Amino acid sequence: MADLRAVQYIRNGSFKEALRFIPEHQEQVNYILQFWQLRSRAFEKQLDELKRAAMIVHEWKVFYRLYLQVGLDIEYYRSLREWVFTLLRGTCRKVLEGTQVASELTYYLGVSHLMLREYQDAVNWANHAVQKEQQNMRYLALLACCWERLGHDYQARLLYREAYYQDPDAVETACLSSQIIDTVIERILHFRYPVESIQYWIPVFGRIFSLFNVKRALTTLEYSSLVKRVRQLESSLEGAQTQGDLSVLPKLLNGYLWMIDYHTALRKNQDRIQELESQLQDTDERVYQLYIEHAQGSNEFA
């Protein structure tokens, strides 16, 4: 159980004082608070506010991966989140005073408001970012999360699936306060996939467990591009596994699932669907079995 005195100090960024209330045997909590104590000093030394904002987001992503690996009492996690994103919001507001609003700044503002549960402000900034760069999947995922938090699940699920399909490397999952994504991550961790690979498994498990159950039908041109991408992934799979590349397998499986959905939306060519399902099975038996158990009836197209 979290010490509420420490929680209050953490909210204020007073890590030295917070550490006085953490017993020595709680090594994990001590380590994490010391982590943020050092980062706090580094933030103070960075006088360029935009660079400081980027630093804050980067260090939160580092912490988030650690959090998924070792866990942390939810009260400590929430108090850290409040301090980090209050700091980010304040930093971004200082930048606003002296410059034109760049897409990167609108994204940081959207993230800070989202994580502080100021959802209307968050969606306004996220919309602004997406309007400036419509093909930026980091911005699209942020907008999806804002829609989710405002109760628009249909739009959120559609945009999540699109963002993680188009460019999973771009999406900053650590900066999403999403019940949908958290549920997907719980499923992934249940099957003991490495934390480093979660980003790439999110669209696979989101599709299989009907959490990304609103789908967009691909155009013929998009499908042709997808087929080329899948063939490239197939040819690089063996080498990627040897080299320890954790992204190729889930990207390939996600490609198969999108191809299956393409043919399902057309309501024809059942033979091709069965062929793709066989490829799914040959590539990863466990994912195939989960697909058979959970995913086949989840077809809602936008």
Q: Domain coordinates of the chain in residue numbers?
A: 180-302
To the nearest 10°, report the CA torsion of 247, 249, 252, 258. Answer: -90
Token pair for residue 152? 């628009």
SS3 call for 166: helix
Q: How many CB atoms lie within 10 A of CB 164?
A: 30
pLDDT for residue 96: 82
pLDDT for residue 296: 61
Of 277, 274, 266, 254, whose CA–CA distance to 301 is shortest?
A: 266
pLDDT for residue 100: 64
Split the chain (302 residues) into runs of 10 and give each run's mean pLDDT: 93 96 94 97 94 97 96 96 98 79 90 98 96 94 98 95 94 97 96 94 94 88 96 92 89 96 88 96 96 73 58
Rounded alpha-carbon distances, angstroms, from residue 235 to 161, 186, 228, 232, 249: 25, 31, 11, 5, 11
pLDDT for residue 248: 96
pTM equals 0.92
pLDDT for residue 302: 58
